[in-house]
Amino acid sequence: MKGSEPDLSAATYQIYDESHTIGNALRWMLMKNPKVEFCGYSAPHPSENTIQVRIQMYDNLSSLTALIDALSALDTLCETVDEAYKTSLKEDAYERWVERS
Amino acid sequence: MPSRNAVDPRRLVGVHAERITHISSTDYPGHYPDEDNSWNLEKFQENLQLKVQRLSQRSIEFDLVGVDASIANAFRRILMAEVPTVAIEHVYVWDNTSVIQDEVLAHRIGLVPFNIDPALVDMRDAVSQATDRNTIVFKLQVLCERNKNVPKGSKNPAELFINHEVLSSHLVWEPAGEQAVVFAANPPAPTNPNIVLAKLRPGQAVDMELHAVKGVGKDHAKFSAVATASYRLLPHINIKKPIPPELAEKFQNCFVPGVINVDPYTKEVTVDEHNVRKDTVTREVLRHPEFSDMVELSRIRDHFLFNIESEGAYAPERLLPEAIQIMRDKLATLKKAAEALLHSDDAPAEEDVQMAD
């Protein structure tokens, strides 16, 4: 979008068909990156199904690479949670009960 | 007396009489000098705890510890809005002489949950034709009649009439094409056969054809895979000073039963580490000035107590893996788009770069 540096060290990305679900998680993961100076997102209008993610980098690094790294990191995070869940479900002793409707 | 398993104070959200403090997480790089809080997979794997607590045939409770609220919230949002299920979308009314209007009855029928495994059904978009892969057809044909053998003097509609209610069990599946084979093990039917859809009187009839399709909760709540999906934070009670024995019982009664233990002989007050999750953090204890400097209430910011109830197609333990898979699919799509952007043009144009999915 408008307002980006030619070297993409600062840029706003518009993501279609996504909402706070991805926006907030992605913002958190980008902020975990020490090379990111600023990261924020907004859902500009409730009836438009888009979000806008603003990323500004230190040292003129590319915000697009940071974005891709954050997406990969989130994916490994999801994988870790998934594995932990399946292990717990298989191995842990937990209460089983019958719920009547 | 400090709590036996002390929690890092940075992990606590303070709960005070009229406000809460330390709401946002602070584990970002640059927040604390000389500390590296950047993303570290090994550290995350080490800190992550996930433990199933209770499981029934329609709900699951588990603890998710060591993730940020944004991640826990993403899973919760996906569970409610983006895990697909099958529900009735098109209703063709041949006859409806009941007192319920066509559109109201159609809406009620749409909300009925089904036992159809969504993995066996394709998503149907607005323009495509109905096929045996993306549509499941039900018939609803009910006629109410007078019962000839009524016990004398009976006023009970169930005895006076035959079919005085249209129930979800009246929905009859009509196999089409390969569906008879695909769904042989688990024939499509409502998960609850006793839902009253309409009431009838003699001579009234309902005759409809119903087409069920796959959809997601953000389109319509009837497609939501969960009855509820929610989380709350684990309460934490820190008793700073010993509670005087004469006040022990009063202190105990400020909390949910089971949360505070009082020793029957010494009247020593302790927090039950196992039952502390039952506490609702009512702050009742903070209303009593005598306890004001003895106790600190808080919640643990990264300890989520998830509760997911399933009402339909998925077994409750299957829901979280489905949600995680959907999250990963979304991330993969985004990553592909971002990489295409990276390779498309190294010098971004003055205008916006447009990406198709």
- Answer whether B315 touches A (CB < 8 Å): no
Among A29, A66, A10, A11, which residue's Cα sits nearest to residue B327?
A29
Nearest-5° Cα angle at B270, B269 to B271: 135
Beta carbons within 10 angstroms of residue B329's beta carbon: 12
Among A49, A21, A43, which residue's Cα sits nearest to residue B73?
A21
Whether residues B202 and B73 share a domain: the answer is no
Q: Does any domain span residue B293?
A: yes
Among B72, B64, B66, B48, which residue's Cα sits nearest to residue A25?
B72
Per-residue confidence (pLDDT) for residue B346, from 0 to 100: 53
Query: Which of residues B224, B247, B266 is at a domain's end?
Result: B224
| Shortest distance, CA A2 to any CA of chain B (angstroms) | 6
Between CA A95 and CA B274 the distance in angstroms is 14
Between CA B172 and CA B208 the distance in angstroms is 11
Buried b or exposed e, range B141-164, using 16+ CB within 10 angstroms: ebebeebeeeeeeeeeeeeebebb
Q: Does any domain span residue B67?
A: yes
Contacts with A, B 134-193, CB within 8 Å: 192
Whether residues B58 and B165 share a domain: the answer is no
Between CA B18 and CA B283 the distance in angstroms is 9
Between CA B41 and CA A80 the distance in angstroms is 9
Between CA B10 and CA B301 the distance in angstroms is 9
Asked if the Cβ–Cβ distance from A99 to B58 is below 8 Å, we say: yes
Asked if the Cβ–Cβ distance from B327 to A80 is below 8 Å, we say: no
Whether residues B248 and B292 share a domain: the answer is yes
pLDDT digits (tens, 9 = 90+) for A11-22: 999 999 999 999
Main-chain dihedrals φ then ψ at residue B196, nearest 5 degrees = -80, 120
Q: Which amino acid is at B286?
A: L
In chain A, the residue whose alpha carbon lies closest to the alpha carbon of B62 is A85
Per-residue confidence (pLDDT) for residue B352, from 0 to 100: 55
Q: Does any domain span residue B345?
A: no
Between CA B208 and CA B139 the distance in angstroms is 6
Asked if the Cβ–Cβ distance from B53 to A14 is below 8 Å, we say: no
Main-chain dihedrals φ then ψ at residue B350, nearest 5 degrees = -70, -30
pLDDT digits (tens, 9 = 90+) for A24-75: 999 999 999 999 999 999 999 999 999 999 999 999 999 999 999 999 999 9
Q: Does any domain span residue B1?
A: no
Query: Which of residues B208, B224, B240 is at a domain's end?
Result: B224
Residue pair B315/B272 in contact (Cβ under 8 Å)? The answer is: no
| Shortest distance, CA B276 to any CA of chain A (angstroms) | 17
Nearest beta carbon to residue B339 from set A8, A29, A68: A68
Query: Which of residues B292, B309, B326 is at a domain's end?
Result: B309
Whether residues B210 and B158 share a domain: the answer is yes
Which two structure tokens, joined as six digits, stand for A36? 């990111």
Whether residues B178 and B94 share a domain: the answer is yes
* Secondary structure (3-state) at B207: strand
Beta strand B136-143 with B226-239 is unpaired
| Shortest distance, CA A49 to any CA of chain B (angstroms) | 11
Split into its structural domains, chain B has a count of 2
Among B119, B127, B116, B128, which residue's Cα sits nearest to residue B86?
B116
Whether residues B100 and B174 share a domain: the answer is yes
Beta strand B226-239 with B295-310 is antiparallel
In chain B, the residue whose alpha carbon lies closest to the alpha carbon of A67 is B338
Contacts of A6 in chain B (CB under 8 A): 347-348
Between CA B275 and CA B259 the distance in angstroms is 5
Say which residues have a Cβ less than 8 Å from residue B105's Cβ, sequence separation at least 6.
B91, B93, B96, B98, B197, B198, B206
Q: Which helix (H) or strand (E) holds A25?
A: helix A20-31
Main-chain dihedrals φ then ψ at residue B248, nearest 5 degrees = -60, -45
Contacts with B, A 38-67, CB within 8 Å: 64-65, 67
Between CA B326 and CA B79 the distance in angstroms is 9
Return the half-sphere exposure (C-beta side, CA atoms, 13 A cut-off) of residue A95.
9
pTM of the model: 0.90
Asked if the Cβ–Cβ distance from B342 to A6 is below 8 Å, we say: no
Q: Which amino acid is at B85?
A: T
What's the CATH code of the domain at B181?
2.170.120.12
Report DSSP state, residue B307: E
Q: Which amino acid is at B116?
A: I
Asked if the Cβ–Cβ distance from A32 to B54 is below 8 Å, we say: no
Q: Which helix (H) or strand (E) holds B8?
A: none
Nearest beta carbon to residue B352 from set A2, A74, A99: A2
Contacts of B330 in chain A (CB under 8 A): 18, 21-22
Nearest beta carbon to residue B39 from set A32, A68, A98: A32
Q: Does any domain span residue B2?
A: no
Q: Does any domain span residue B327?
A: no
Alpha-helical segments (H) within chain B? 41-47, 69-81, 102-110, 157-160, 179-182, 248-253, 316-344
> What is the three-state SS of B218-237?
CCCHHHCCEEEEEEEEEEEE
| Shortest distance, CA B150 to any CA of chain A (angstroms) | 31
Q: Does any domain span residue B354?
A: no
Main-chain dihedrals φ then ψ at residue A80, nearest 5 degrees = -60, -45
ipTM above 0.90, yes or no: yes
- Answer whether A83 touches B (CB < 8 Å): no
Whether residues B112 and B192 share a domain: the answer is yes
- Answer whether B26 touches A (CB < 8 Å): no
B255 lies in which domain range? Answer: 9-81+227-309
End-to-end CA distance of chain B: 58
Nearest beta carbon to residue A96 from set B38, B55, B352: B55
Q: Can you tell me which residue has the tokens 């005598």?
A: B290
Nearest beta carbon to residue A64 from set B53, B321, B342: B342
- Answer whether B340 touches A (CB < 8 Å): no
Asked if the Cβ–Cβ distance from A21 to B328 is below 8 Å, we say: no
Whether residues B15 and B70 share a domain: the answer is yes
| Shortest distance, CA A5 to any CA of chain B (angstroms) | 9
Whether residues B77 and B177 share a domain: the answer is no
Contacts of A82 in chain B (CB under 8 A): 320-321, 324-325
Please identify, in words, the CATH class of the domain defined by A10-91. Answer: alpha beta
What's the CATH code of the domain at B65?
3.30.1360.10
Inter-axis angle of helices B69-81 and A63-91, to 10 degrees?
70
Between CA B215 and CA B179 the distance in angstroms is 19
Whether residues B137 and B195 share a domain: the answer is yes
- Answer whether B343 touches A (CB < 8 Å): no
Asked if the Cβ–Cβ distance from B70 to A72 is below 8 Å, we say: no
Question: What pLDDT tens digit does each residue of chain B (357 aa) get?
Answer: 444 457 888 999 999 999 999 999 988 898 898 888 889 999 999 999 999 999 999 999 999 999 999 999 999 999 999 999 999 999 999 999 999 999 999 999 999 999 999 999 999 988 888 999 999 999 999 999 999 988 888 899 999 999 999 999 999 999 999 999 999 999 999 999 999 999 999 999 999 999 999 999 999 999 999 999 999 999 999 999 999 999 999 999 999 999 999 999 999 999 999 999 999 999 999 999 999 899 999 999 999 999 999 987 899 999 999 999 999 999 999 999 999 998 876 544 445 555 555
